[in-house]
């Protein structure tokens, strides 16, 4: 049975209560709009993606959450370190060498179950209505215009909710992008990741304890090493599927254990402590939505674009797009105008950031590239690289790309992201 009542009419509907959904809902609720978040899971729920970068600071400040983060138990992160294939550590890239020590220069390693619950509760506290254990199954349309969603509760009951605008914040699964045929794979960034957790493994002393370490697997991929609170460690390996499953090895645990042997630093750090819980595997990395939305629909966070996580850009992009979408949708509600074209600036801004990060990711995966080679030739590139790695991605990096192109080719921007104009026959 389908239930619809006047109580099911909102100013905005948000699909998904992750960082993108919770942040856009918090902004909209703060403006006083009636916003509904529909989340499939019951929070706190597990999620990968645990390392923040400095420029998550601004959206977190906008959400009023910096004091909460400062008093939380999350491990403080001051730097990123790269480990060569032979196991040699680079100098840490300390953020405070470039940014204000009291704000942007210190970020956090989070446990997503706890962090995402903080974000979602923040949206609730600001007045958003949040329903958990309810799965959006379908967009409701009037002609081409999205006018709401049909969702199923855990009990099996089907419910319809209506609003002049729906924000798709469904994450990497990209609910509307998949259904509209808008999802494009990034041809080169097609990796898989295998990861698990350790308790009591080896840590660096002092302020280096919370560093994100990226350790190379020779010519193939990399490990992440992310220290968390309660002496836990998130550790995973990312590479081409063909490489990780060579000789017919398919079990995540076997893949992981074999790769530990490929980097002496990782092997040494995992030589003490206890592996905890399951091994995870994920494939189908990096995708882009052809459009940021259409009439009555806006895509936010991973649902808009998901980039290989080597530089931990996902949370920054999700929170930035969430807060920005909140502002843009607020204006649309105030002006009672939800024409897709009004989100063109949002799309341009977010795509520009994604494209800058994407160029650095492409360079990273080219065996001929090293940060050191570029910085040795062009010392001023160090600051530009730090800005991009820290998430200050909405600036003109043309001088940096020109320098890096002397070493490795970089991809052109993908011609995607602009809203689908009303009446466009591409809408399916
Ligand atoms: C292996 C790996 C490592 C990563 N490491 C990092 C990292 O170190 N740092 C970093 O910043 N990022 C990292 N990321 C990326 C990061 O996890 C994401 O960018 C981030 O979670 C995006 O937030 P989101 O809100 O867009 O999506 P999500 O966090 O995925 O939230 C989407 C929510 O929508 C809900 N949902 C989905 N479909 C429906 C539906 N139909 N109905 C109702 N609810 C629905 C889901 O249950 C989920 O709660 C990593 C990603 C991967 C895969």
CA torsion sign for 322, 328, 330, 333 is: negative
Q: What is the mean pLDDT of residues 116-137?
A: 98
Q: Is residue 419 a part of any domain in this protein?
A: no
Q: Identify the three-state secondary structure at position 132.
A: strand
CA dihedral 198, 204, 209, 211 (to 10 degrees): -90
Q: How far is the CA of 404 from the centre of ligand 1 (A)?
A: 30
The predicted pLDDT at position 421 comes to 87
pTM across the whole model: 0.96
Residue 366, judged by CB atoms within 10 A of its CB (0-12, 13-18, 19+), counts as middle
Q: Is residue 361 a part of any domain in this protein?
A: no
Q: How many helices and strands, by DSSP H and E, does the chain display?
A: 13, 22
168 lines ligand 1 (CB under 6 A): no
322 lines ligand 1 (CB under 6 A): no
- Mean confidence (pLDDT) of the chain: 95
Q: Which atom of ligand 1 is nearest to the CA of 135?
A: 42
Structure confidence by residue, pLDDT tens digits, 155-205: 999 999 999 999 999 999 999 999 999 999 997 888 999 999 999 999 999
Q: Is residue 43 a part of any domain in this protein?
A: yes
CATH of the domain at 200: 3.30.9.100
Q: pLDDT at residue 5 above 60?
A: no
Q: Looking at the structure, tell me whether residues 312 and 345 fall in a common domain.
A: yes
With CA atoms as reference, report the closest residue to 397 among 345, 346, 353, 342.
353
Q: pLDDT at residue 285 above 80?
A: no
CA-nearest residue for atom 30, ligand 1, is: 171
Residue range of the domain that includes 169 = 2-51+58-70+111-186+287-351
Q: What is the mean pLDDT of residues 42-46?
A: 98
Q: Which atom of ligand 1 is nearest to the CA of 19?
A: 25
The predicted pLDDT at position 428 comes to 46
Q: Looking at the structure, tell me whether residues 372 and 233 fall in a common domain.
A: no
CATH of the domain at 294: 3.50.50.60
Structure confidence by residue, pLDDT tens digits, 337-392: 999 999 999 999 999 999 999 999 999 999 899 888 999 999 999 999 999 999 99
51 lines ligand 1 (CB under 6 A): yes
Q: Looking at the structure, tell me whether residues 154 and 278 fall in a common domain.
A: no
320 lines ligand 1 (CB under 6 A): no
* Structural domains of the chain, count: 3
17 lines ligand 1 (CB under 6 A): yes
221 lines ligand 1 (CB under 6 A): no
54 lines ligand 1 (CB under 6 A): no
Q: Looking at the structure, tell me whether residues 172 and 120 fall in a common domain.
A: yes
Rounded Cα distance, 376 and 359, in Å? 20
Q: Looking at the structure, tell me whether residues 176 and 308 fall in a common domain.
A: yes
Q: Is residue 418 a part of any domain in this protein?
A: no
With CA atoms as reference, report the closest residue to 175 among 21, 281, 27.
21
193 lines ligand 1 (CB under 6 A): yes
CA-nearest residue for atom 3, ligand 1, is: 49
């Amino acid at each position: 049975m389908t239930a619809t009542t006047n109580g099911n009419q909102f100013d905005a509907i948000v699909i998904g209560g992750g960082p993108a959904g919770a942040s856009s809902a918090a902004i909209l609720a703060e403006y006083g709009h009636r916003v509904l978040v529909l989340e499939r899971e019951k929070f706190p729920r597990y999620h990968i993606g645990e390392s923040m970068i400095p420029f998550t600071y601004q959206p977190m400040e906008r959400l009023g959450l910096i004091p909460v983060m400062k008093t939380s138990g999350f491990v403080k992160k001051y730097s990123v370190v790269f480990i060569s294939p032979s196991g040699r550590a680079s100098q840490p890239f300390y953020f405070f060498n470039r940014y204000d020590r009291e704000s942007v220069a210190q970020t956090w390693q989070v446990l997503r179950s706890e962090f995402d619950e903080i974000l979602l509760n923040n949206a609730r506290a600001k007045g958003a209505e949040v329903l958990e254990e309810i799965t959006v199954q379908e967009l409701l349309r009037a002609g081409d215009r999205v006018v709401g969603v049909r969702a199923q509760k855990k009990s099996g009951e089907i419910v319809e909710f209506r609003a002049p605008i729906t924000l798709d914040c469904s994450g990497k699964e990209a609910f509307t992008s998949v259904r509209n045929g808008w999802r494009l794979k990034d041809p080169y960034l097609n990796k898989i990741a295998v990861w698990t957790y350790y308790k009591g493994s080896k840590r660096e002393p002092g302020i280096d304890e919370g560093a994100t370490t990226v350790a190379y697997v020779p010519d193939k991929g990399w490990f992440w090493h992310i220290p968390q609170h309660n002496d836990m460690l998130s550790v995973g390996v990312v590479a081409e599927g063909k490489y990780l499953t060579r000789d017919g090895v398919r079990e995540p645990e076997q893949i992981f254990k074999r790769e530990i042997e490929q980097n002496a630093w990782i092997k040494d750090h995992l030589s003490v402590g206890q592996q905890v819980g399951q091994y995870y595997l994920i494939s189908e990395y990096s995708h882009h939505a052809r459009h940021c939305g259409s009439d009555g629909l806006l895509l936010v966070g991973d649902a808009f674009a998901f980039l290989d996580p080597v530089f931990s850009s996902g949370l920054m992009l999700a929170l930035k797009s969430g807060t920005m979408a909140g502002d843009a949708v607020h204006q649309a509600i105030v002006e009672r105008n939800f024409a897709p074209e009004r989100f063109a600036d949002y799309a341009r801004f977010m795509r520009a950031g994604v494209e800058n990060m994407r160029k650095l990711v492409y360079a990273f995966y080219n065996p001929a590239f090293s940060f050191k080679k570029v910085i040795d030739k062009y010392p001023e590139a160090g600051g530009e690289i730090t800005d991009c790695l820290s998430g200050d991605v909405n600036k003109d990096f043309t001088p940096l790309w020109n320098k890096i192109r002397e070493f490795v080719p970089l991809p052109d921007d993908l011609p995607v992201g602009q809203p689908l104009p009303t009446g466009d026959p591409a809408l399916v």
